[in-house]
Chains A and B, each alone.
Chain A
């Protein structure tokens, strides 16, 4: 049992990838370290538990990455997804540092799997953790325990008490009981606030009741809100979140990767009134899946239904939930509690609008389009006419929020007046808005967490010693 009366060199708020990278690095630099994880042990690790890989720059193939992924290509990819909503200095620093993390990760017991085919072709850009994010966390926690880092589970940070730009003490609840702990330096690695539905409601209204939170229920943004209330500079649009289309039957929290649904490009998607509302075939799915969460969030009751026929059904991976299946469109509509007449009319209208004589190719943008619909379907448009028919209900699934705390290149948190905080650092989701202000690149969250976790740990340990 850790002695909670002592003053630690470094206190880390959070228990995910970024937190553990900071804690281990600080400990390796000689600091005494306390990690406060809000979740119970079984659910430790925040959203890192649901991750699978890390995007890394590399100039030549290695044991876990194929080919090469140079800094400029990486930066171009980031620029494209963020639409320029990034900080080039911090971004390029992160990208360059990403090439040098593997040795340290492997020393910490993290294992990678040889690059695989069929994983969105990410084998070139992303290194896959053997067993996924929870296996990575297990390795980090074992390393942390071996190094003598004190870890408290079921421990929520209530307030980081700041005075004159420095954290003087930290109020926590340990297994439900209030306590105060002290540390010379503090690293905030406590994630975003997407699991705090009341906070989300401020921007989205009651629509949040129909949102699915893909990750941990413990990312309630308590540390984030507490810091922003004490003069820490915010970054990122508070109203924005990363939202994808999920099977509507997914659990409210923690469904992770398996509830995703890739049916949209080969389907007709209608809202609860049976009307189409967006071009299902606008682009390949990996480039579009992240806009569909928002599209569905804007529909009545935040729900949509993806309908396809037996020609299209084998073209995509099913979700973990079985599709609704029926021999006629009307029966399918009834099973999904939609108006059968309306859905029938929508499908008939769609089928009539499909330009005849096109050749279908699901492997590329095939240009198969409808003519005369609002909106058109501009690729993979084929008549939905061969039973049995299949349907899936869709909901917006929230991955993370963009609001965070502003940091400099030493992972030091910046105050509203632009001055760095005295002893406060940040890593991971809570500061990723500095670099990723919009959109997402697969595996980039783990890259930011690892790189900034290492910097924050290093800097906090150094600062604590001085």
Chain B
């Protein structure tokens, strides 16, 4: 991590936190910072990505603005986080996309939809696009051929996975632990990722827009995360049905891919719309404004991907199916393409940071009152 203004400010604040330590019960960030006296840029990158943004420490801080020290750790670490996303992105030079991330994600989405729509209309035989198809084998592929879906899907998603893996590698080299990663540490980190333990303000939840605690954000994030995973499972199930069992789509309502996809889509919609709504009412003080655009863009992209998927299920036997499918796949393509260049990367770096924390779990705090 480069030495930047955000890093310098984070170092100043973290050193004050290290002399105070009142917040150590809130989350993993404080026990992690108590292990050291000197904070290299990589350490601050680690702490920044370890922070889940629950804001408990901001409302509890005796040095929060308007105190002259103006300690605002959730915002400061979010500012560092934004820089780390750019710093670690792959290929090198792609970091710039995080500067106007909301605009970029929105443009990529619009473009993806347009391309898929135009191509699917172009591929269709004249007059065949706006026609209801019987729900039998290959109905979907008469709009967009299977090979085209598979090539584009695997290529875009594969590239994105690779780019995110390279980002993770860059993070790990710069901000990873010195010790070996054991199986127990991996298990602990996985548990922390799956439960979002650190988005809990020490068991009471986050501060959404005041001193009051609530579990709302954690629950909505769970809905979004597990909804996303269910959608992914639905796609995988469909792929297995088609490729290995020879059962082509569309699948009946009572089938694994449709049930997983429907439940997942509904959860994803609730989670993303809920988190978006919370951004509208949140206290602007402990959040970084420059991250808002990218956050909202990804939330809405996920929400629209989920909603258009559900719409497709509803209209699949009608003449609106080709249009609904093209739009849905347009959103999915956009999602695949922007994965490594959107807020989505927070999952990668946060998981890696939680892993480092788990590796260092037995280290002893330095000094202390």
Partner of B369, one of A131, A138, A141, A257: A257
Chain B residue at minimum C-beta to C-beta distance from A135 = B60
Comparing B22-30, B227-235, B259-267, B346-354, the segment that makes contact with chain A is: B22-30
**What is the CB-to-nearest-CB distance from B53 to chain A, in angstroms, rounded to a whole number?**
16
Render B339-369 as a binary contact track against A, CB cut-off 8 A, 1 for contact: 0000000000000000000000000011111
Q: Known A142-B211, A317-B368, A320-B19; judge A131-B37 contact (CB<8 A).
A: no
- Specify the main secondary structure of chain B where it touches its partner: loop
**Contact status A120-B369, CB under 8 Å:** yes
> What's the Cα separation between A319 and B369 when bound, in Å?
11
> What's the Cα separation between A260 and B22 when bound, in Å?
14
Q: Known A132-B22, A318-B19; judge A138-B62 contact (CB<8 A).
A: no
> What's the Cα separation between A138 and B204 when bound, in Å?
13
**Contact status B60-A132, CB under 8 Å:** yes
Contacts of A133 in B (CB 8 A): 22, 62
**What is the CB-to-nearest-CB distance from B206 to chain A, in angstroms, rounded to a whole number?**
13
Contacts of A257 in B (CB 8 A): 19-20, 22, 369
Chain B residue at minimum C-beta to C-beta distance from A118 = B368
* Residue B61 at the chain A interface, CB threshold 8 Å: yes
* Residue B182 at the chain A interface, CB threshold 8 Å: no
A interface residues, tally (CB under 8 Å): 36
Partner of B62, one of A256, A316, A318: A256
> What's the Cα separation between A317 and B36 when bound, in Å?
11
**What is the CB-to-nearest-CB distance from A61 to chain B, in angstroms, rounded to a whole number?**
18
> What's the Cα separation between A375 and B56 when bound, in Å?
48
> What's the Cα separation between A47 and B367 when bound, in Å?
25
**Contact status B25-A131, CB under 8 Å:** yes
> What's the Cα separation between A120 and B367 when bound, in Å?
10
**Contact status A119-B368, CB under 8 Å:** yes
> What's the Cα separation between A57 and B20 when bound, in Å?
26
* Residue A111 at the chain B interface, CB threshold 8 Å: yes
**Contact status B20-A258, CB under 8 Å:** yes
* Residue A165 at the chain B interface, CB threshold 8 Å: no
**What is the CB-to-nearest-CB distance from B39 to chain A, in angstroms, rounded to a whole number?**
13
Q: Known A131-B56, A135-B59, A141-B211; judge A52-B37 contact (CB<8 A).
A: no
Contacts of A260 in B (CB 8 A): 369
**What is the CB-to-nearest-CB distance from B56 to chain A, in angstroms, rounded to a whole number?**
6
Counting residue pairs across A and B whose Cβ atoms lie within 8 Å, the total is 91
* Residue B3 at the chain A interface, CB threshold 8 Å: no
> What's the Cα separation between A295 and B91 when bound, in Å?
62
Q: In the complex, which residues 29-62 of chain A have their Cβ closer than 8 Å to any Cβ of chain B?
A: 42-43, 49-50, 52
**What is the CB-to-nearest-CB distance from B121 to chain A, in angstroms, rounded to a whole number?**
57
Render B4-43 as a binary contact track against A, CB cut-off 8 A, 1 for contact: 0000000000011001101111100000000001000000
Contacts of A114 in B (CB 8 A): 25
Render B104-132 as a binary contact track against A, CB cut-off 8 A, 1 for contact: 00000000000000000000000000000
* Residue B68 at the chain A interface, CB threshold 8 Å: yes
Render A313-345 as a binary contact track against B, CB cut-off 8 A, 1 for contact: 000111110000000000000000000000000
* Residue A130 at the chain B interface, CB threshold 8 Å: yes
Contacts of B26 in A (CB 8 A): 130-131
Chain B residue at minimum C-beta to C-beta distance from A141 = B211
Contacts of B63 in A (CB 8 A): 256, 258
Contacts of B367 in A (CB 8 A): 118, 262, 316-318
**Contact status A317-B25, CB under 8 Å:** no
* Residue B246 at the chain A interface, CB threshold 8 Å: no
* Residue A377 at the chain B interface, CB threshold 8 Å: no
Contacts of B92 in A (CB 8 A): none
> What's the Cα separation between A134 and B212 when bound, in Å?
13
**What is the CB-to-nearest-CB distance from A256 to chain B, in angstroms, rounded to a whole number?**
5
Extra A-B contacts (10), CB below 8 Å, given A42-B65, A135-B59, A320-B15: A118-B369, A128-B25, A134-B60, A134-B62, A139-B211, A141-B211, A254-B67, A258-B19, A262-B367, A318-B37
**30 cross-chain CB contacts under 8 A:** A42-B64, A42-B66, A43-B67, A52-B22, A111-B203, A113-B24, A113-B25, A113-B202, A118-B367, A119-B369, A128-B25, A130-B204, A131-B23, A131-B59, A131-B60, A134-B59, A134-B60, A134-B62, A251-B68, A254-B68, A256-B20, A257-B369, A258-B63, A260-B369, A262-B367, A316-B367, A317-B19, A317-B369, A320-B16, A320-B19
